[in-house]
């Protein structure tokens, strides 16, 4: 064992000196390789952290949202449905929600207007004429607490709301375009019927009962559709997965270019390198020794690129808020959330990235070297 380790040390020593002897070639390769790992790892880390963030936020959302449907489209929910639901075993609370979207032509952005649900932890229902807004709206409209926000209502009347508070920065991913206001203000602003809600939410304490409750709701109110929290989580997952896939496809060409570059650089042995292999064999190195030495050369290069690329990606995503990918991965809205993802590293993801970057490179370099290394070394005599 000691002999084996010492032998590897000699081979690594030689590989390091071989890398240092052709600095131009290897630095160029290291740079491109690091860039590819950096981009792939950035997308992976960022999407993963978005998923996690969304899951954390949704963890506090209600278990079931009940929407009324008409002709397959979302319709307003009659308030009397709250009574028609009656008492279902397992449901700990139920209430109607008021929320909607408003397009602000001044900044060409959509806001989400919402009446805080009862017992809302952060701010409760704002007083008449007051609003609580997300950081995105505040940034875009240049608002601070105490300022007034003027909007034109559904009937064309001007409405001025006083900013009573700003939503906390930590929830910006989901609250950047959010505007909280009182129920009366909401109804007046949108000319929303007094006997209607946007939807109804139900809280179910035991997660195992959620599906059963949803079934009962479908039977009791056939024109409604229950949306479960787990379904929303799945949708988020799919959306982020889809966006991640989209970026990967865009990056596919670049990765392919890298593979060709790496193959050419690493596998295409120069005359000098072929001669060097011949010399090593003629002075007593076995084919296996040459292959092991070249394996170490590839492994040192690819591992360095992998760790450098991954660390840079980590810094890019968690310290610079993934500045390069924000527009694609966070959303399509005008109000980009400004948020810092929570640092999080997934072992399986690291292993996947490692497998798809380090492994192919190492194999790509070994095959042509093997072809050279198995030839008789007498060529160096000529």
Partner 1 sequence: MIELRDVKKVFNQGRGNALWAVRGVTLDLEPRQVTVFTGPSGSGKTTLLSMIGALSRPTSGRISLDGTLLSNLPERFMTQVRRRTFGFVFQRFNLIRGLTVLENVMLPAYPLAPDYGDLRRRARALLAQFGMDAKADDKVEWLSGGEAQRAAICRALINAPLILIADEPTANLDSARSRELIGLLGELQDLGKTVLVASHDPLVFESARVSRVVELRDGLLAEDA
Confirm if 171 and 342 have CB atoms less than 8 A apart. Answer: no
Residue 11 is a binding residue for partner 1 (CB under 8 A): yes
17 is a contact residue toward partner 1 (CB under 8 A): yes
Cα angle: 368, vertex 27, 345; to 5 degrees: 90
Binding status of residue 300 toward partner 1 by CB under 8 A: no
Does 282 bind partner 1 (CB under 8 A)? Our answer is: yes
| Closer of 59 and 381 to partner 1 (Cβ) | 381
How would you class 353 by CB atoms within 10 Å of its CB: exposed for 0-12, middle for 13-18, buried for 19 or more? buried
Token pair in block for residue 377 = 């070394």
Residue 378 touching partner 1 (CB under 8 A): yes
Least distance to partner 1, CB of residue 14, Å: 6
Q: Does 14 bind partner 1 (CB under 8 A)?
A: yes
| Residue nearer to partner 1 on the CB measure, 205 or 275 | 275
Nearer to partner 1, 9 or 205 (CB): 9
Candidates 134, 298, 337, 377; binder of partner 1 (CB under 8 A) is 377
Q: Are 338 and 321 in contact (CB under 8 A)?
A: yes
Nearer to partner 1, 24 or 119 (CB): 24
Quote the CA–CA distance of 49 and 317 in Å, as a whole number.
9
Binding residues for partner 1 restricted to 170-209, rule: CB under 8 A: none
Phi-psi region of 187 (alpha: psi -120 to 50; beta: other; left: phi over 0): alpha
Task: Please report how close the Cβ of residue 299 comes to partner 1 at its closest, in angstroms.
Answer: 17
* CB of 251 closer than 8 Å to CB of 33: no
Q: What is the DSSP letter of 123?
A: S
382 counts as binding partner 1 under rule CB under 8 A:
yes
How far is residue 331's CA from residue 70's CA, in Å, rounded to a whole number? Answer: 29
| Min separation Cβ 380 and partner 1, Å | 5
Q: Is 294 in the site for partner 1 (CB under 8 A)?
A: no
Is residue 125 within 8 A of residue 143, CB to CB? The reply is no
Question: Given the complex with partner 1, which of 23 and 252 has the nearer CB atom?
Answer: 23
Kindly identify the residues of this chain, within the stretch 304-363, that bind partner 1 according to CB under 8 A.
none
In the block, tokens 């760790």 appear at 307
Give the whole-angstrom CA distance, residue 251 versus residue 115.
42
Residue 21 touches partner 1, criterion: CB under 8 A: yes
Q: How far is the CB of 249 from partner 1 (least distance, A)?
A: 42
What's the min distance (Å) between Cβ of 347 and partner 1?
35
**Considering beta carbons, is residue 6 or 371 the nearer one to partner 1?**
6
Report the residue from 255, 308, 350, 380 that binds partner 1 according to the rule CB under 8 A. Answer: 380
> Considering beta carbons, is residue 134 or 377 the nearer one to partner 1?
377
Annotate 244-254 with b (16+ C-beta within 10 A) or e (fewer). Answer: beebeeeeeee
Helix/strand/coil for 344: coil
Asked whether position 374 contacts partner 1 by CB under 8 A, the answer is yes
Nearer CB in complex with partner 1: 113/373: 373
3-state secondary structure of 72: coil
Question: Applying CB under 8 A, which part among 54-62, 88-96, 218-226, 284-292 lies near partner 1?
Answer: 284-292
Residues 6+ apart with CB under 8 A from 345: 45, 314
- Binding letters toward partner 1, positions 242-281, x by CB under 8 A: ------------------------------x--xx--xxx
Which residue's CB is nearer to partner 1, number 128 or number 288?
288
Cα Rg of the chain (Å, integer)? 30
Query: Contacting partner 1 (CB under 8 A), which of 192, 285, 296, 310?
Result: 285
174 close to 180: Cβ distance less than 8 angstroms: no
Helix or strand run (H / E) with residue 69: strand 64-70
Choosing from 130, 209, 237, 289, the residue that interacts with partner 1 (CB under 8 A) is 289
Q: How many other C-beta atoms can be found within 10 angstroms of the C-beta atom of residue 174?
A: 17
If one asks whether residue 74 binds partner 1 (CB under 8 A), the answer comes out as no
Torsional sign, CA 111, 115, 121, 123: positive
Can you tell me the distance from the alpha carbon of 271 to that of 276, in angstroms, rounded to the nearest whole number?
9
Binding site for partner 1 (CB under 8 A): 3-4, 6-7, 9-11, 14, 17, 20-21, 272, 275-276, 279-289, 374, 376-378, 380-382
């Amino acid at each position: 064992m000691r002999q084996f380790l010492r032998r590897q040390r000699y081979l690594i020593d030689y590989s390091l000196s071989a890398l240092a002897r052709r600095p131009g070639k290897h630095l160029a390769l290291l740079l491109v390789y690091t860039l590819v790992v950096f981009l792939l790892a950035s997308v992976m880390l960022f999407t993963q952290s978005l998923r996690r963030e969304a899951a954390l936020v949704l963890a506090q959302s209600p278990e079931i949202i009940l929407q009324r449907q008409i002709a397959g489209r979302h319709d307003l929910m009659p308030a009397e449905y709250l009574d028609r639901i009656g008492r279902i075993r397992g449901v700990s609370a139920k209430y109607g929600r008021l929320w909607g979207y408003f397009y602000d032509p001044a900044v060409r952005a959509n806001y989400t207007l919402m009446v805080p649900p009862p017992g809302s932890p952060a701010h409760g229902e704002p007083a008449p004429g007051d609003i609580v807004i997300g950081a995105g709206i505040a940034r875009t409209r240049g608002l601070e607490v105490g300022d007034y926000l003027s909007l034109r209502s559904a009937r064309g009347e001007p409405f001025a709301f006083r900013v009573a508070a700003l939503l906390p920065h930590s929830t910006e991913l989901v609250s950047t375009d959010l505007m909280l206001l009182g129920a009366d203000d909401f109804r007046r602003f949108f000319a929303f019927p007094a006997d209607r809600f946007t939807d109804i939410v139900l809280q179910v304490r035991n997660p195992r009962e959620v599906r059963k409750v949803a079934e009962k709701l479908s039977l009791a109110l056939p024109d409604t559709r229950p949306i479960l929290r787990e379904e929303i989580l799945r949708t988020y997952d799919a959306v982020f997965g889809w966006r991640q896939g989209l970026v990967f496809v865009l990056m596919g060409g670049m990765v392919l270019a890298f593979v060709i570059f790496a193959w050419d650089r690493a596998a295409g042995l120069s005359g000098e390198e072929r001669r060097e292999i011949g010399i090593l064999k003629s002075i007593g190195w076995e084919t296996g020794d040459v292959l092991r030495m070249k394996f170490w050369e590839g492994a040192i290069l690819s591992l360095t690129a992998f760790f450098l690329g991954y660390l840079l990606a980590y810094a890019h995503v968690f310290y610079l808020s993934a500045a390069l990918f924000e527009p694609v991965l966070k959303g399509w809205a005008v109000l980009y959330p400004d948020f810092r993802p929570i640092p999080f590293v997934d072992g399986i993801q690291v292993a996947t990235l490692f497998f798809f970057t380090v492994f192919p490179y190492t194999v790509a370099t070994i095959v042509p070297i093997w072809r050279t290394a198995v030839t008789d070394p007498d060529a160096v005599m000529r």
